[in-house]
Amino acid sequence: GVGAALAGNLTFMVGGVEQEFNAAKELLTCMGSNVVYCGEVGTGQAAKICNNMLLAISMIGTAEAMNLGIRS
């Protein structure tokens, strides 16, 4: 989020040609503390989508547990 961006702690999941990734990695490390090469074009996006899905599932479970606790 915004706080991680301001602190330079973003995570980049990058897909594409490995030589191009290596050329861009130095620039990306200026903005983030984790820069991960994921493979071919599109694999970085797939990794990000999986990460977001897992976060959403966790948040939904937390919200449901809070709702159950409050109603109980």
Residues catalogued as catalytic: 48
Cα separation, 19 vs 39, whole angstroms: 11
8-state DSSP, 16: S
Helices H, strands E: what count in the chain?
3, 2
